[in-house]
Amino acid sequence: MKIIVVKDSEQGGKEACKIFKEVLADNGTVFGLATGSTPLTTYRNLVKDDIDFSNAISVNLDEYVGIKPDNPQSYQYFMNEYLFKYKPFKHSYLPQGDAPDSKKEVERYDKVIAENPIDLQLLGIGRNGHIGFNEPGSDFNLKTHKVALSPSTIKANARFFKNEEDVPRYAYSMGIGSIMKSKKIILEAFGAQKAHAVAAMIEGPVSADCPASVLQKHNDVIVIVDEEAAAELKKR
């Protein structure tokens, strides 16, 4: 892992934007994208930049189950608002939250990933070490799956909803096995609340107790963290 410690999330977004540009210039065409507050500065920097994704493809990590694409809390809506309406891709794939058949939707999305090998995958990390919605205990070989969200993840995501009771209890998520096939991975983490998970990911044992720790086994991972998120690291 290459670790880049930055002053704040804004600087982190600038660093990630540089990597996106490098991958695109090196003929990378498929970008795995994440949602939530962590990648917002990255998307803001991509929007300001002259980068052109019109011949590229995006494949998102996850989506809530039981939510329509035009729902303001859906990840489809999030991506449209913060990136796609400014920087459209040739094609953008997300799990379909309101798909009538979960099994068929999982199969469909696995096919999307298989047909579009990811050149660069952007990740955040949950306080419990999850990546995507792969919660602690997740099998490292999993492909796309429907997952029950942990209480800590529901609580963390409640800030985006009017009430915690409104947070969906299930999501579709790209599996760890699929994430690990990405050629290059950026993982971003900002804030003191992520420090323990970051230390466990980088310096702890590779264990399903911290799903992100599997990234130690990938040969091209760049971790972008601010000083607060790096606080518990023994080595930098």
Residues marked as catalytic: 62, 128, 130, 135
Q: Which residues contact 107 (CB under 8 A, 6 or more apart)?
A: none
CA 208-153-45 angle, 5° bins: 95
Label the pairing between strands 62-64 and 170-173.
antiparallel
Listing DSSP states for 23-82 in one string gives HHHTT--EEEE--SSTTHHHHHHHHHS----TT-EEEESEEETT--TTSTTSHHHHHIII
**Which of 167, 174, 124 has the alpha carbon at shortest distance from 149?**
167
Whether 200 and 129 have beta carbons less than 8 Å apart is answered as yes
